[in-house]
Amino acid sequence: MTRTDGVPTLSLPFDGGRFEPDGVVRDRVRAVRERLEAASLGRYVQGDDVMVDLICRTSPQADADTIGPVAEWLLWVFPFDDLCEEVFAADNTIELLDADATGLARHLVATALPQAVAEGMTGFCRDVTAHRSPGWTSRFLRDLDTYVLHAIRYAGTSADDLPALDEFVVLRREEGAAKPTVDLVEVAAGVDLPEEFRNSPSWQRLHDACADVLTWTNDIYSHQKERHAGNRFNLVDVLVRHTRLSEDEARARAVDMTNEKAREFTAGAAELVHGEEFRSLTERTRSDVVRCVRGMEHWMRGQYEWFVITGPARYRVGPRG
CB 85 within 8 A of CB 230: yes
Cα–Cα distance measured from residue 2 to residue 115, given in angstroms and rounded to the nearest whole number? 45
CB 146 within 8 A of CB 179: yes
Checking if the pLDDT of 5 tops 50, the result is no
φ, ψ of residue 195 in degrees (nearest 5): -60, -40
Assess if residue 15 is contained within a domain: no
Average pLDDT over residues 211-218: 96
Average pLDDT over residues 237-257: 94
Assess if residue 233 is contained within a domain: yes
Which CATH number fits the domain that encloses residue 140? Answer: 1.10.600.10
Q: Tell me the per-residue pLDDT of 159-193, one tens digit each, with 9 for 90 and over.
A: 678 899 999 999 999 988 999 999 999 999 999 99
Assess if residue 245 is contained within a domain: yes
Q: Tell me the per-residue pLDDT of 204-213, one tens digit each, with 9 for 90 and over.
A: 999 999 999 9
pLDDT of residue 230: 65
pLDDT of residue 99: 44
Assess if residue 6 is contained within a domain: no
Q: Tell me the per-residue pLDDT of 280-295, one tens digit each, with 9 for 90 and over.
A: 999 999 999 999 999 9
Q: Tell me the per-residue pLDDT of 92-140, one tens digit each, with 9 for 90 and over.
A: 555 555 444 447 666 666 677 899 998 899 899 999 999 999 999 999 9
pLDDT of residue 215: 96
312 by Cβ neighbours in 10 Å (0-12 / 13-18 / 19+) ranks as: middle
Cα–Cα distance measured from residue 219 to residue 237, given in angstroms and rounded to the nearest whole number? 9
Assess if residue 51 is contained within a domain: yes
pLDDT of residue 318: 42
- How many domains, the chain? 1
Is residue 321 very low, low, confident or very high in pLDDT (cuts 50, 70, 90)?
very low
Which of the two residues, 287 and 4, has the higher pLDDT score?
Answer: 287
Which of the two residues, 95 and 228, has the higher pLDDT score?
Answer: 228
> What is the pTM assigned to this prediction?
0.91
Q: Provide the domain limits for residue 185.
A: 23-314
Assess if residue 116 is contained within a domain: yes
Assess if residue 174 is contained within a domain: yes
CB 57 within 8 A of CB 304: no
Assess if residue 5 is contained within a domain: no
Average pLDDT over residues 219-237: 81
